[in-house]
Amino acid sequence: MNNKQGDMMWDKMARSRVMRMSLSLLLLLFQSATVRATGLTISSIDVASVAGDKFQIQMEMSGPAIAPKVFQTDNPARIALDFPGVANGLDKKMYPINQGAVSSIYVAEAADRVRVVINLVEATPFDTKVEGNKVLLSLTNARSGKPLPVATATRPFVRKSTPSSVAAGLIPEQGIRGIDFKRGDNGEGRILVSLANPDTIVNTKEEGGNVVLSFINTRLPENLSKRLDVSEFATPVKTITAASTSRETTITAGMQNTLYDYSLFQSEGLLTVEFRPLTSEEKEILDSKREKYKGDRLSLNFQDIDIRSVIAILAEFTGQNVVAGDEVTGTITLKMDDVPWDEALDFIMMTKGLEKFESGNVILVAPVGKIKEYKEKQEATEKIVEQLEPLVTEYIKINYAKAENFRNLLNGLDTGAFGSCGPNNSSGSSGSSSSSSSNTSGYSGGNLGQGGQQSQGQSQSGQGTTGNPQNDKFRILSMRGSAVVDARTNTLIVRETVKRLEEAKKLIRKLDIPVRQVMIEVRIVSASNNFAKQLGVRFGGGNLTSIGGGKSFGIGGRNTLSTFPIDNTTIDPKTGERTGTISPGGFLIPETKSNSSSTAATLANNLVDLGTSAHPYGALGMTLARGADYVLNLELQALQDQGQGELLSNPRVLTSDRCLALIKQGEEIPYVSVGLQGTMTIFKDAVLSLEVLPQITPSGSIVMALRVTKDARGALTQGGFGINKQELQTNVHVMDGETVVLGGAFLETIDNQVNKVPFFADLPGIGFLFKRTTKVDDKTELLIFVTPKIVKDNVTVN
């Protein structure tokens, strides 16, 4: 028993020893792998000119160097080298060179790799090779005017252990000598920057509505470090601000607005940045082109390169997961300058008959037929799964629309699905309690558009299709799904698979929102300006006859007495008193005997009766001659009418976006109509009406289809009263809260008349006594002021 226990203890100790050794070995292996992954670093970068007019960059590592992944872009001209599993042992990221074709070197470290970017002045041929601990990159020294001397040794310019650098010996004077601004012939704004070194690197970016130019390691004189106001030049540029730090100089162009496009070009040491003004339409077209492709820009220049290699370069450049199918073969020659990478991929696929399929963050590139076959298989699989998936029921509360509308939409019925603004869903209101208003989408007589018409067909609420292939194409519910409506609670009851149900709920959440409303206020002004002027003459005479010893006076003309006094009184010789009475008209009517039936003799008409047509506002009468039994009189009459009138109507109506609203107020005039069925009374409207169909644009403005009528009772005819009509129908585009004035119904009546006696009216000096002149000038204009206002969401209308 003791032997057995000893053996067991021995076995346990042995197993424990083996486990400890295994763990130690695993730990040692892990540490070794860690050292291999992180122990290799880039310790220095050297530059030198070598034989054959070449410029060489030497990247030294802490151990045996590995071959990097290399790719090149033409615009901007760059060479990028990726070292996977290598760390960065350098003390800086940016190193200006400005030697030969190399302007600078940039070193960046990611999670598992180091990327060395060599910025070039222009695209230059190069080659790379690995020698021991070094990676050598040689470039043709294209920009040197003469061959550089052969370097017998290279000097490291970057090393953590060596703070000094020979870069200063390689960098020519870099500075800005002047900044100027000019205006182009078509309103362009040009910023002119004079550079001390033509190889100065400049980077541009848009930031906060400004365009920023960055000059790396470039000196700015103190007299140029200032802010310039160039707003008076009427270009897209408002201000120019130049400033410098220890690392860079920046020139910031403050813009007037966003309607601009800019470009850079350089000639020798003069850098020109041009800002071109754009219209809203040009800006929209430019933005739409840019929105389609949003990838980083790059330039490619290859001759007969394998298509799979190009796809691999794009994948490496963007960091995207791109899979090329086995059928992707062949070569391609291309040269693209400064294009988004996704646009470059689309053009490459188009030339080779390829297509891409995106799933998550993976892009599959394959021939068009293969992608189509894959999609068809995927759809067939989804249909099979859908047929087997169980159905669930969901009760969806509709808040701002009719549940029936959503049921129609889920079944693919686009007609009448939304926009129902009929009497059952009225959203219009009137600004006056005595006026009637309504919103009707089924309006047919106003020609203001169809709006959202009521569906004429029966909506599909059960299973199956609608019977219309076009509707089935937009059907949200599956063949097994169904939707019913509880009208009392405005609830939509949907029975569908989980996937289709989520799509339906997403659609409802997107569309079940409050519809914006518009208050339209209209002021209708009918302005009139009337003027009438008349000048007339009456010229006549009368007989004086004896009646009972007295005398009376009478004249002709409309059986009335003229209004000038006549002294025809008598004095009683016994008492010395004057006898007789004076009439209210100022005429003396002598006393007559009671048995006398004689009256004053009169003339039926004046000799000249050209008085004013209306009652004169002023008249002047006089006696031209008088005899024993006759009198000759003259009466001048004048009349002038001048008046201004204004009739104001102010209808207002509140309606929803894209819903037709109608408001009218007035009277119905009865007419008697005789027909086969006998005598009938019909009514015709003489009303003031406003019909409007507003549409709120994404920019916040309002497009309106308007019809305004102002009918009134007219003159009485044998058939009844006529209707005086004034009507305006138009389409306008107005900003929120602005007032647009509509007019054009302008009527002017000018009437000049002369009534005269032939021959006598043409006599000089006295011709005016034999004629009447009339002048009439009437003006009437209809003006309509329309003010739409978008009702804010937080405003509640009672």
Mean of pLDDT over the chain: 73
Closest C-alpha among 96, 108, 139 to residue 42? 108
Do residue 570 and residue 555 come from a single domain?
yes
Most confident of 1-10, 482-491, 772-781: 482-491
What are residue 430's DSSP bridge partners? 653
Q: Are 340 and 299 in contact (CB under 8 A)?
A: no
Do residue 661 and residue 786 come from a single domain?
yes
Do residue 250 and residue 335 come from a single domain?
no
In this predicted model, which residue has the larger pLDDT, 339 or 52?
A: 339
As a whole-number percent, the residues of the chain with pLDDT over 70 amount to: 67
Domain end call among 583, 608, 635: 635
Q: What is the mean pLDDT of residues 445-460?
A: 41
Ramachandran sector of residue 412 (left: φ over 0; alpha: ψ -120 to 50; beta: rest)? left
pLDDT in tens, 96-139: 887 778 888 888 887 678 889 898 888 888 888 888 889 998 88
Do residue 237 and residue 311 come from a single domain?
no
Q: Are 117 and 80 in contact (CB under 8 A)?
A: yes
Q: Please give the tally of structural domains in the chain.
A: 6
Assigned token pair, 78? 């760059």
Domain end call among 355, 387, 419: 387
Do residue 31 and residue 44 come from a single domain?
no
Crossing angle of helices 307-318 and 341-351, in 10° steps, is 160
pLDDT in tens, 60-96: 988 888 888 887 877 678 888 888 888 888 888 888 8
Do residue 216 and residue 191 come from a single domain?
yes
Do residue 74 and residue 33 come from a single domain?
no
Q: Could you say which DSSP state residue 233 is in?
A: G
Say what the pLDDT of residue 235 is. Answer: 92
Which residues, at least 6 apart from 634, have a Cβ–Cβ distance to it below 8 Å? 537, 538, 539, 621, 622, 624, 769
Please report, for the domain that includes residue 162, its CATH number: 2.60.40.3500
3-state DSSP assignment of residue 1:
coil
Residue 564 pLDDT > 70, yes or no? no
- Is residue 482 included in any domain, yes or no? no
Say what the pLDDT of residue 559 is. Answer: 38
- Is residue 83 included in any domain, yes or no? yes
Most confident of 148-162, 270-284, 468-482, 520-534: 270-284
Residue 440 pLDDT > 80, yes or no? no
pTM, full prediction: 0.42
Classify residue 784 by burial, with Cβ atoms within 10 Å: 0-12, 13-18, 19+.
Answer: buried
Do residue 666 and residue 773 come from a single domain?
yes
Do residue 122 and residue 146 come from a single domain?
yes
Closest C-alpha among 523, 795, 788, 794 to residue 654? 788
Cis preceding linkage at 125, omega within 30: no
Say what the pLDDT of residue 608 is. Answer: 59
- Is residue 74 included in any domain, yes or no? yes
Q: Are 117 and 108 in contact (CB under 8 A)?
A: yes
Which residues, at least 6 apart from 491, have a Cβ–Cβ distance to it below 8 Å? 395, 396, 397, 398, 403, 485
Do residue 277 and residue 355 come from a single domain?
no
Please report, for the domain that includes residue 346, its CATH number: 3.55.50.30
Assigned token pair, 611? 């008085």
Between CA 54 and CA 129 the distance in angstroms is 15
Classify residue 227 by burial, with Cβ atoms within 10 Å: 0-12, 13-18, 19+.
Answer: exposed
Say what the pLDDT of residue 332 is. Answer: 84
pLDDT in tens, 209-264: 889 998 888 889 988 999 999 988 889 999 999 998 877 899 999 998 888 888 88
Q: What is the mean pLDDT of residues 713-732?
A: 85
Between CA 488 and CA 482 the distance in angstroms is 19
- Is residue 434 included in any domain, yes or no? no
Residue 562: pLDDT band with limits 50, 70, 90: very low
Do residue 201 and residue 275 come from a single domain?
yes
Say what the pLDDT of residue 604 is. Answer: 39
pLDDT in tens, 134-178: 999 888 765 443 333 333 333 344 333 333 333 333 344 678 999
Residue 497 pLDDT > 60, yes or no? yes
- Is residue 280 included in any domain, yes or no? yes
Domain end call among 387, 410, 429: 387
In this predicted model, which residue has the larger pLDDT, 632 or 86?
A: 86
Range of the domain at 7: 1-37
Neighbours of 274 (CB within 10 A): 18
3-state DSSP assignment of residue 505:
helix
Closest C-alpha among 271, 264, 256, 179 to residue 210? 256
Closest C-alpha among 171, 165, 182, 285 to residue 235? 182
Strand-pair category, 429-430 with 652-656: antiparallel
Which residues, at least 6 apart from 34, have a Cβ–Cβ distance to it below 8 Å? none
- Is residue 339 included in any domain, yes or no? yes
- From residue 89, how far is each of 59, 60, 727, 741 by CA, in Å? 11, 10, 84, 74
- Is residue 436 included in any domain, yes or no? no
Say what the pLDDT of residue 365 is. Answer: 92
Do residue 623 and residue 647 come from a single domain?
no
Say what the pLDDT of residue 634 is. Answer: 62
- Is residue 524 included in any domain, yes or no? no
* Lowest-confidence segment of 256-260, 286-290, 453-457 by average pLDDT: 453-457
Between CA 691 and CA 705 the distance in angstroms is 8
Closest C-alpha among 330, 333, 341, 194 to residue 271? 194
* Lowest-confidence segment of 81-90, 219-228, 375-384, 573-582 by average pLDDT: 573-582
Residue 765: pLDDT band with limits 50, 70, 90: confident
Please report, for the domain that includes residue 281, its CATH number: 2.60.40.3470
Q: What is the mean pLDDT of residues 674-697?
A: 86
Between CA 581 and CA 167 the distance in angstroms is 134
